[in-house]
Structure 1
Amino acid sequence: MAKAGLLVRNLGRVEYLQTWQAMIDFTAARSEQTADELWCCEHPPVFTLGQAGRAEHLLTDLGIPLVNSDRGGQITYHGPGQVVIYALLDLGRRQLKVRQLVSAIEQAVIDLLAAHGVLAERHAGAPGVYVAAAKVAALGLRVRRGHSYHGVSLNVDMDLSPFAAINPCGYPGLAVTQTRDLGISLTPSQAATVLADHLAVQLERR
């Protein structure tokens, strides 16, 4: 499905490692004519550690795999019921700087929540989206030769308990929440579609 100069792919539930390798391959094979894409998916349970991530932020071994990823950021959790959107973009063609892309992604999540009457915000120095003190969406990006991959995860309707086994995004005691607990009745599939729509709007505005 194409929208606002983007090809949006719904991958369903896919393994993290397989999807990460696919992003690397896609980015390496890009040309000036390659369309930008958003990949919407869910992952089976996995902890991922960003490039600068520290293993001590994994507090408890739950038997869930830990993957050392090449994205930015610290440690986070992905699992069923969480929407992940990967942003495979030519930043030069879009005249986007990384900070602008981060802002666009955050604003897309903020706008989705606002449409359902939920006030969300950014926290200075801690990328992501928060409702009060609880994090509802996490960001992690990689840029290679002006092309971005990785993206954003939005907690929708999932088991949040594995977050207690980590310092989410490197912050001890950071609370997490999800859209279901905020009174938003979207399914993960619906949330992925709506979030992709909001992100497409933000990218066109920039």
Structure 2
Amino acid sequence: MVEESKRPDFEGSELIVRYLGCRDYEPVWQSMKAFTAGRNAQTPDEFWIVEHNPVFTQGQAGKPEHVLFPGDIPVIQVDRGGQVTYHGPGQLVFYFLMDIRRKRSGPRAVVSALEDAVIEMLAGFGIEAHNKPDAPGVYVNGAKIAALGLRFRKMCSYHGLSLNVDMDLEPFNRINPCGYAGLDVVDMASVLGNVDNADANMAEVSRRLLVCLQKALNYPEITSG
């Protein structure tokens, strides 16, 4: 688990990146909504990088039958697209607070860019991944390793993507992940197995994914410190 991050936030002319550490889900969600409601044409875009305490989140059109037996893990109804998913320690979450008009792009192109960035990052660890045209996210041998769910308000996005790095996957058995009964879910640690890859930790994965996302979304590369 990532403790409260000591890494500095940093910013460029177009993008601010904030490391939030490990947080409860709902306060971060409310902050995303408030940021988006209050931004204007001059507000820089932001990425928020966070890890969440255990929680199930149900998309705005989510069907209750996909929540099978949540047990002691809370279920929160939220305003993103998609069905139910799980967030917990060992999962890397990026939230994208972007004015996509600046990218001269649309929602579908943004989702595709995010998927491409995750696929490129995983390839750097020797993990072959792919997307599916009819099911947003990133998959390894048919098992889901990254989930995507965004909300667009007046062409400004919030919510984002979650990448399973090294986590307890058992809670996914308590739901139909993303609305698909029997969908296998995997994390980077289980794919890599006994491969000696000391770089596959949360900090390094977040660093590499940030670089790929900046490239895919056409932000100038910025570095901390």
Q: What TM-score do the two structures reach when normalised by structure 2?
A: 0.88
| C-alpha displacement of 1:190 | 2.1
Change (3 A) 1:109 1:18: same
2: CA distance between counterparts of 1:45 and 1:152? 16
The one-character-per-residue Cα deviations of 1:112-142 (angstroms, maximum 9, x if unpaired) are 1111111100112100000011000000000
Instruction: Give yes or no for the alignment of 1:90 onto 2:104.
Output: no
| C-alpha displacement of 1:178 | 0.6
| C-alpha displacement of 1:172 | 0.3
Which residue number in structure 2 is paired with residue 119 of structure 1?
A: 128
5+ residue gaps, structure 2: 1-9, 220-225
The one-character-per-residue Cα deviations of 1:165-185 (angstroms, maximum 9, x if unpaired) are 000000000000011112154
Equivalence map 1:187-206=2 (5 Å): 187-204=201-218
Instruction: Give yes or no for the alignment of 1:10 onto 2:24.
Output: no
Which residue number in structure 2 is paired with residue 51 of structure 1?
A: 60
Which residue number in structure 1 is paired with residue 160 of structure 2?
A: 151
Residue 29 of structure 2 aligns to a residue whose secondary structure is: helix
2: CA distance between counterparts of 1:195 and 1:22? 23
Superposition CA RMSD, Å: 1.3
| C-alpha displacement of 1:3 | 5.4
Contact 1:3 1:200 in 2 (8 A): no
Which residue number in structure 1 is paired with residue 80 of structure 2?
A: 71
1: CA distance between counterparts of 2:165 and 2:101? 32
Aligned residue type for 1:87: F
Residue 204 of structure 1 aligns to a residue whose secondary structure is: coil
The one-character-per-residue Cα deviations of 1:40-66 (angstroms, maximum 9, x if unpaired) are 000000000001101110111321000
| C-alpha displacement of 1:188 | 1.7
2: CA distance between counterparts of 1:4 and 1:158? 35
Moved over 4 A (4+): none
Over the matched positions of the two proteins, sequence identity in percent amounts to 50
Q: How many residues align?
A: 205
2: CA distance between counterparts of 1:4 and 1:49? 35
Residue 109 of structure 2 aligns to a residue whose secondary structure is: helix
